[in-house]
A and B are shown apart, each in its own frame.
Chain A
Amino acid sequence: MYILGFETTGALGSAALYNLDTDEIRCLSVNQPMEHLKNIIGLAKRLLDDEKAGADELKAVAASVGPGSYTGIRIGVSSARAVAQGLNIPCISVPSLDIFKEKCKGDTGCAVIFNARRGQVYGAVFDETGRDVLKAGPYMLSDVVEAVSKSGKDIVFYGDGVSAYRNSEDYGYMLENKKLAAEKDLLPTAEMVVRYGAEAYRKGNTCSYTELEPSYMRETEAEQKLRDGTLDRLRKEKMAKFAGR
């Protein structure tokens, strides 16, 4: 029996298959950045074929629900929902920052920073046991760095925010003298998603496909623009009047 998992919140989407009997994991990744939509279901099919397993052997589908790329999150969540609905199996909601807790080992904790542009990140900081030092949320990079410094702990930085900000003129200084993970380990992978997912599954933490929701943590740019007040005041007042009835 298996758990299928999707990770599409970063630039490189991946799918993984977790064997619940042997704890072995197979993982496949798209080669080109932002190619999730075309390829993610195809990857899942290849994983099953490689394993010589049938779709009827899937017990649940895990998806990384964000935060991260908006379109990516939608693709992952929709794909997982579709598979779960089609096979009549449950989903597992996997928070994309929390899966980095597995990096906490020995006396080393981890900080995760996903790039949200202009000095902003979706971030979290965990201590060596995986406990929250800074709870997952939308922050300024400086908030995360400060939390790391204040903790006085040995903490390694992960996430695409590392590559985005380390050489930045405006923000790069904040990451100087910090421990940064190797480039190949920065991004979340479906392997991490199914590891988290298998544990959740064994604890009974599943949901129906209708309950699998994206976790954007921040409104989209379009929503922000709309909110900027470009809408005509009178029209707004009138709509408010209607809506208040």
Chain B
Amino acid sequence: MREVKLRNKQEVMKFGESLAKEMCPGDVLALVGELGTGKTTLTKAIAKGLGITELITSPTFTIVKEYTSGRLPMFHFDVYRLESGAQLTAVGGEDYFHAGGVCIVEWADKVAEILPDDTKVIFLEYGKEEGERIYRCTF
């Protein structure tokens, strides 16, 4: 697995923006990491890279939010409150995986069983230093 060390928020922004440049319609990106490791921050960086101009806020209460002002539609999930993939399926969440945009799923480990096999996963972890993060990427 590829390991990337990001020393601060600026480096996270750069990483996310360049990742956005490579994203294709139908991509599912799963973000797995503890509270505070920067899942939403990384999502904001990707949104910026996609050219999305809307304000990105955490969809913890709405499960998913759609952003359409960029190069590709972005579907931003936060499944923290869900107990299984079945719950996401029940509300039609899976449909987004095939809707021609990019899906970003925070807390993806809660619904892992329904994620497509070719999902790209980033495991976000705290680094040793203040502000430092380690990303382990499956791609």
Using a CB–CB cutoff of 8 Å, the interface residues on chain A facing chain B are 210, 232, 234-235, 238-239, 242-243, 245
The residues of B with any CB-CB pair to A shorter than 8 Å are 1, 30, 32, 84-85, 109-113, 115, 119, 121, 123, 128-129, 136, 138-139
> Given that A242-B30, A242-B119, A242-B121 are contacting pairs, would A232 and B113 also be in contact in the complex, using a CB cutoff of 8 Å?
yes
CB <8 Å contact, A242 and B138: yes
Cα–Cα distance between A243 and B119 once the two chains are bound (Å): 11
Chain A residues within an 8 Å CB radius of B123: 243
4 closest residue pairs by CB, A with B: A245-B138, A238-B112, A234-B113, A242-B121
CB <8 Å contact, B129 and A210: yes
Contact across chains for A242 and B129 when beta carbons are under 8 A apart: no
Interface contact B113-A235, CB-CB below 8 Å: yes
Query: Is the Cβ of B138 less than 8 Å from the Cβ of A239?
Result: no
Chain A residue at minimum C-beta to C-beta distance from B117: A241
Name the residue of chain B whose CB is nearest to the CB of A240: B112
Number of A-B residue pairs at CB separation under 8 A: 33
Q: Is the CB of A235 within 8 A of B84?
A: yes
CB neighbours (8 Å) of A234 from chain B are 112-113
Tell whether, in the assembled complex, residue A238 and residue B128 are in contact, meaning their CB atoms are under 8 Å apart. Answer: no
Smallest CB separation, A220 vs chain B (Å): 14
A234 to B115, CA, bound (A): 11
Q: Indicate if the CB atoms of B128 and A210 lie closer than 8 Å.
A: yes
Cβ contacts A to B, 21 pairs, < 8 Å: A210-B129, A232-B84, A232-B113, A234-B113, A235-B85, A235-B111, A235-B113, A238-B112, A238-B115, A239-B109, A239-B112, A242-B30, A242-B112, A242-B121, A242-B138, A243-B1, A243-B123, A243-B136, A245-B1, A245-B138, A245-B139
Chain A residues with Cβ below 8 Å from B129 are 210
B128: which A residues are within 8 A, CB to CB? 210
Note all chain A residues with C-beta closer than 8 A to B121.
242-243, 245
- B1 cross-chain contacts in A, Cβ below 8 A: 243, 245
> B33 to chain A: closest CB distance in Å?
13
Across-interface contacts of A210 in B (CB, < 8 A):
128-129
- Which single residue of chain A is at the shortest CB-CB distance from B119? A242
A245 (CB) vs chain B CBs: closest residue:
B138
A239 to B113, CA, bound (A): 8
| Distance A235 CA – B115 CA, assembled complex (angstroms) | 10
A7–B129 Cα distance when bound, in Å, is 25
B94 to chain A, nearest CB (A): 14
